[in-house]
Amino acid sequence: MAPTLGEIADRLSARLTGGDPGTPVSGVAPFDRAGPGEITCAASAKLLARVSGSRAEAVIVGPGAGPSAVPLLVVGNPLLTFARAIALFHRPPAPEPGISPHAVVGQGFVHGEDLFVAPGVVIGKGVRVGDRVTLLPNVVLGDGVVLGDDVTIHPQACVLWGCTLGSRVVIHAGAVIGADGFGFAGEAGKLHKIPQTGVVTLGDDVEIGANNTIDRATFGATAIGNGVKTDNLVHVAHNVTVGDDTVLIAQCGISGGTVIGKNCVLAGQAGVAGHLTIGDFVMVGPQSGVGKDLAAGQVVTGSPVMPHRIWLRVQRLVEKLPELARTLRNLEKRVKNLEGGDGQHP
């Protein structure tokens, strides 16, 4: 039975204006594709201006939206509400709880309710996991790993010995949690391994992207705070600390021992050198290189980074360097003329 518009409004704590609460809703769709029976969202000013042209059954909007011929679902945070609306209709494949006979489970495994272990999963010794844990095909958990409740680990990811994950953590496919940190001692041109004795700890509500590499600490822990989200192919070196709710976009990398604050955003392909301290709410632009400490709240871009507002002007000038150089050479000649020109004045 499709839910009605009124029921949806209730579920989303939205105020419905202008629609028939009894209309059945079949799903959600992006703004440009939503049609009859579907609800969509206008979270940006750009889309808000186009609401009256929408063919959707209703549009989720913020409190500031004007009246519209199209029914509105008015809420405080349209994008978040849209996320919840999608979740009402989206049913990704959900396996039945149980441990596959094709999985291998080590001694001393302790688990909560509603565990799912897929074929090909290999669980080491002394692993403890909470309720509603889902381990998808070919996942590997090393000895002594601890997972909280509601953890999902996607195919072919691994969490190596001693690492611990909080609750509501998602690890995407192919991610490696707890490989050795990259530590070596040099002697006469040869490198000798420094044993990496520490672990990785992930807080609650962490989501780690596909094919990430989060290395274990030399001592202690590489510590990823609560609510941290990483995109794909992100590298976090040994002994890094990442503060709560920080976001690491695809292909960025953080070198060993660096401390990143809370609520930071590192854009795609950015890099941070080792043993630095980055404050809270710092934003680092794409492909930027951070080689020094950054105080809280800074917005920086460039390789190496500079304040973003300066970078905006710099990058326009870089393209004009040939012109600037030409002007400079021309000016040099004219000054030489002026200098040499003294003799011509009577």
Residue 343 Cα to chain centre, angstroms? 69
Interatomic CA distance for residues 101 and 192, integer angstroms: 42
Complex with a copy of itself: residue 89 or 109, whichever CB lies closer: 89
Nearer to a copy of itself, 15 or 275 (CB): 275
Nearer to a copy of itself, 65 or 173 (CB): 173
Three-state SS string over the chain comes to CCCEHHHHHHHCCCEEECCCCCCECCEECCCCCCCCCEEEECCCHHHHCCHHHCCCCEEEECCCCCCCCCCEEECCCHHHHHHHHHHHHCCCCCCCCEECCCCEECCCCECCCCCEECCCCEECCCCEECCCCEECCCCEECCCCEECCCCEECCCCEECCCCEECCCCEECCCCEEEECCCCEEEECCEEEECCCCCEEEECCCCEECCCCEEECCCCCEEEECCCCEECCCCEECCCCEECCCCEECCCCEECCCCEECCCCEECCCCEECCCCEECCCCEECCCCEECCCECCCCEEECCCCEEHHHHHHHHHHHCCHHHHHHHHHHHHHHHHHHHHHHHHCC
Q: Which amino acid, 232?
A: N
CB of 55 to a copy of itself, least distance (A): 15
- Least separation in angstroms between CB 6 and a copy of itself: 23
Please identify which of the residues 172, 238, 275, 308 carries the catalytic annotation.
238
Mark residue 276 as left, alpha or beta (left: phi above 0; alpha: psi -120 to 50; beta: remaining): beta
CB of 22 to a copy of itself, least distance (A): 26
Residue carrying the six token digits 């990058």: 315
Between 6 and 126, name the residue whose CB sits nearer to a copy of itself.
126
Smallest gap, in angstroms, from Cβ of residue 29 to a copy of itself? 6
Residue 64 CB, nearest approach to a copy of itself (Å):
17
For 150, other C-beta atoms within 10 Å of its C-beta total 19
Please, what is the minimum distance in Å from the beta carbon of residue 10 to a copy of itself? 19
Contacts of 204 (CB under 8 A, 6+ apart): 148, 166, 167, 168, 169, 226, 227
238 is known as an active-site residue:
yes
Nearer to a copy of itself, 67 or 321 (CB): 321
Q: For the CB of residue 17, give the shortest distance to a copy of itself in the complex, in Å.
A: 22
Name which of 22 and 185 has its Cβ closer to a copy of itself.
Answer: 185
Partners of 17 in beta bridges: 72
Q: Whose Cβ is closer to a copy of itself: residue 69's or residue 325's?
A: 325
| Catalytic annotation, residues | 238
